[in-house]
Amino acid sequence: MSADHYQREYHLTPNGWVPGTSRYYGKIQGEEIPRPDDAVGTWLYDEKQSHSFSRPDISFTMIWQNDRVSKDTIVELRRRFSDP
C-alpha cells in the first residue's frame, strides 16, 4: 500500500480554474463538487507517495473535454491561466 494518494479535479473555464472534487485513497473528501456549466475541460491532479520518505509522483492529466469547444480555445486558456 502506498504512503499517500491524493487526487483533485480542476475544471478550466473562460474565467480560470475552478477546484472540483478531491479524493484521498479514492474516498471523496468533503462533498462532491459538480463540474461548472462553462467548463471547457477537466484535469486530474494525482499525487502518490509510495513510501513515507520518498518523493511523491505527481501527474496532471486531462480527463474530460467539452466537445463544443475547440482545442485551440483550450490551448489558449491553458496558456492564459497556467496550471492551478
Q: 62 and 17 in contact (C-beta within 8 Å)?
A: no
pLDDT, tens only, 26-42 = 999 999 999 999 999 99
Q: Is the pLDDT of residue 3 over 90?
A: no
1 has pLDDT over 70: no
pLDDT at 6: 96
Burial of 12 (0-12, 13-18, 19+ CB in 10 A): buried
Digit-coded pLDDT (tens) for 40-69: 999 999 999 888 788 889 999 999 999 999
| pTM, full prediction | 0.90
